[in-house]
Structure 1
Amino acid sequence: MACDISIIIINYNTANYTIDCIASILKHTPSDLDCEFIIVDNASETKNYFLLKNYIDSISNKINIKLIRSQINTGFGAGNMIGAQQATGNYLAFINNDVIFENDCLSALKEFMDNHENAGVCGPQAFKEDHSILPTIDHFASPLRELFGRNILEFLNQKTYPERKKLYAKPQRGQFVAGSFMFFRTTDFDQVGGFDTNIFLYYEETDICKRLAKNKKSAWLVPSGRFIHFHGASTPKSIALKIELKISLLYLTRKHYGMISYWIIRFYLQLKYFFSSLVKPKHWPLFFALIKGAPLSMSLKHKQKIQRIS
């Protein structure tokens, strides 16, 4: 039997964040909103997995919640697809585990989507820990954005590229919403095939929102919902992740913009990181990855090991 909303959260060695996230959702979501929680553990270490499992077991008699264990780290998109395949909700809420609700986000998003058939995805307003703004809407990753930057695009055409770092009083359309909190109508999500599981990390939002746009479904910020995002808590910075970022960018460019754009961006990045590496030697691995074309075969996706529960 379908519920209103399926809440899908990925855990990867950050059980305490996941526990706090679930608790904040329960605190701010009214009981008459029929929700199910699907928590996907993406091959966390045994101790972290059981910390989360024990918490979920302790609340499972009070709410509709299930824990699914993947024995390999499938990344963001594929991890969420594991959850999506188990979902029964009319809506799908993909929420990062390093998110804390400040108010009843889910009711605000559901009400908006109920009344806007052409909206394909929406998200609430995000804030950093210090309550400074984090952009919820953003501009598609594209050759123009990569070459000229967001600020120039916003200056030249605010209709197509609305301001990201602005507090809006009313819902605002953007090109995509941040992956930390994405709220879809299940039928729309299914129609475009969900997340592209070739992408291990990064740019999943641009990819799926471009596919939604082809179906005339738009992306929206719903500012009446508010949440805190502990930005980067689940993916601390490293050269390996910077390489992953460029792998995903080049894959996305080739997929959506064609080979000419791919070669332009590839050459631009090679030049950029050659000179950057002269100043910051830690960037040399990134430069050499770009020389090879940063193909999907170099992705962290292909370096994961099976993590069986011991």
Structure 2
Amino acid sequence: MTDPRAPKVLVIILNYRTPQMTLRAAEAALRDMPARKAELVIIDNASGDGSPGVLTREIAERGWDKGGRVRLILSDVNGGFGAGCNIGFAAGMSDGSRPDYFYLLNSDAFPDPGCLGKLIDHLESHPKAGFAGSHVRGEDGLDHTTAFRFPSIAGEFEGAARIGPITRVLRRHVIAPDLPTETARVDWCAGASVLVRAEMLDQIGSFDETFFLYFEETDLCLRAARAGWECWYLPSAHVVHIGSASTGMKAWDRVPAYWYASRRHYFVKNHGRIYAAAALLAKLAGGALHSLRCALTGRPPQDPPGFYRDLLRFGLGLPLERSAPVSRRTVSEENP
């Protein structure tokens, strides 16, 4: 008999031109979802490649659509990760009711058995927890950094400089510190595998759709923190993540314009233009130190080609000179 006190959970997976990968993620999620009061919705972010037909056929052939267990929603436009998730937030359960939790899972992420249950148990036992993020590893078994501090001026400088003595002095500002080995509060978690409390979204609102890709979950967690909600990282809940399957990030020759736009919007929106300008200067200064060190030691730079030139040009409002397309409609919704 179903426990009437059991929470309702809606799993949200966004698809962009990776239907078979999305089906694999959905299959892993279904195996880990509670048998009752849990559903999964796939949002196709205007793939334009036949994905809806593939997904519709496979969902029906596998019998996933029975009782509203799995639904497919088609978006007319690819508004990015946040916009796609917002469609799932608005959809709710198949009977029209509001879920207690939303589980955001990337289309190239596959939960281990028990992952979702551990995230649910944590939010159930911590009423002020708005987020619970899982441990994420690659197919090679290596950890993916998915628990972070909020970006700051000092953090931008340290992250760009990557010099031991500077990191030690600014250790409390490191944006991507070592992953906690035990359950711990963090500033924000990446959206590849994170459980979100619906009550919190009702209070603070959903994703800011100005962000096409990157910084949207950082912004949401910051808004939540300012409203008194907590974000937790659970190293005992595990997910395998391929990473960048639909963004193509690993094959980028240059960082796309939407990354710079998201970064600037985050700082201006949350801290003001003066702070945003100082954060830009800090990152440029740290990058200059890194480049100097590489030149003196013969080490290869760790930044993408043209990164700081593009960062400066974008900060000055100048167009980015490149041949690679950066259209919002050519990239996906996924968080790498």
Q: Give me the TM-score of the superposition, normalised by structure 2.
A: 0.78
* Residues in 1 aligned to 2:119 and 2:45: alpha-carbon distance in whole angstroms: 27
Of 29, 46, 53 in structure 2, the residue corresponding to residue 43 of structure 1 is 46
Following superposition, the deviation at residue 46 of structure 1 comes to 3.8
Deviation at 1:155, TM superposition (A): 4.2
2:26 alignment partner AA: I
% identity of equivalent residues: 26
CA distance in 2, matches of 1:288, 1:161: 25
Deviations 1:13-60 (A, max 9, x none): 01111100011112233424x211111100012422211221122221
Distance 1:56 1:141, change over 3 A: farther
Q: Which residue of 2 aligns with 1:81?
A: 86
- CA RMSD in angstroms comes to 3.3
Provide closer, same or farther for how the CA distance between residues 36 and 167 of structure 1 changes in structure 2, counting only shifts above 3 A.
same
The answer for the alignment partner of 1:195 in structure 2 is 207
Distance 1:157 1:188 in 2: 32
**Match in the other structure for 1:143:** 153
Contact 1:8/1:39 (<8 A) preserved: yes
Q: Deviations for 1:201-224, whole angstroms, at most 9, x for unmatched residues?
A: 001121001100011111111222
- Which secondary structure does the structure 1 equivalent of 2:50 belong to? helix
The 1:74–1:240 alpha-carbon spacing in structure 2 relative to 1, beyond 3 Å, is: farther
Deviation at 1:143, TM superposition (A): 2.2
Alpha-carbon distance in 2 for matches of 1:161, 1:283: 20
Equivalent residue for 2:265? 251
The residue number in structure 1 matching 2:10 is 6
- Runs of 5+ in structure 2 lacking a partner? 93-97, 292-300, 332-336
Q: Are the counterparts in 1 of residues 158 and 170 from structure 2 also a CA contact under 8 Å? A: no
Query: Closer, same or farther in 2 for the Cα pair 1:162/1:12, shift >3 Å?
Result: closer
Which among 118, 132, 143 is matched to residue 133 of structure 1?
143
Who is 1:118 aligned against?
128
CA distance in 1, matches of 2:65, 2:33: 17
Letter in 2 for 1:165: D
Match of 1:57 among 51, 60, 64: 60
Of 29, 46, 53, the residue aligned with 1:25 is 29
Residue aligning to 1:265: 279
Give the C-alpha shift of residue 123 in structure 1.
Answer: 1.0
One-letter amino acid of the counterpart of residue 136, structure 1: T
Go from structure 1 to structure 2 and tell me whether the alpha carbon gap of 1:285 and 1:250 turns closer, same or farther (over 3 Å shift). Answer: closer
Q: Is the 8 A contact 1:18 1:98 kept in 2?
A: yes
Structure 1 residues 285 and 261, CA gap change in structure 2 (3 angstroms): closer
Q: For the structure 1 residues 195 and 35, does the alpha-carbon distance in structure 2 shift closer, same or farther, using more than 3 Å as the test?
A: same
Q: Which amino acid aligns with 1:53?
A: T
Matched, 1:292 2:292: no
Helix, strand or coil for the counterpart of 2:117?
helix
Q: CA 1:68–1:294 in structure 2 vs 1: closer, same or farther (change >3 Å)?
A: farther
- Write the distance in 1 (CA, Å) between the matches of 2:140 and 2:99: 33
Alignment of 1:271-290 (within 5 A): 280=305, 288-290=313-315
Aligned CA distance change for structure 1 residues 299 and 188 (closer, same or farther; 3 Å): farther
The separation in 2 between residues aligned to 1:66 and 1:226, in whole angstroms, is 25
The aligned runs of 1:94-109 (5 Å cut-off) are 94-109=104-119
Q: How far off its partner does 1:287 sit? A: 5.2
- Equivalent residues of 1:137, 1:221 under 8 A apart: yes
Residues 15 and 51 in structure 1, CA contact (< 8 A), matched pair in contact too: yes
Partner of 2:183: 171
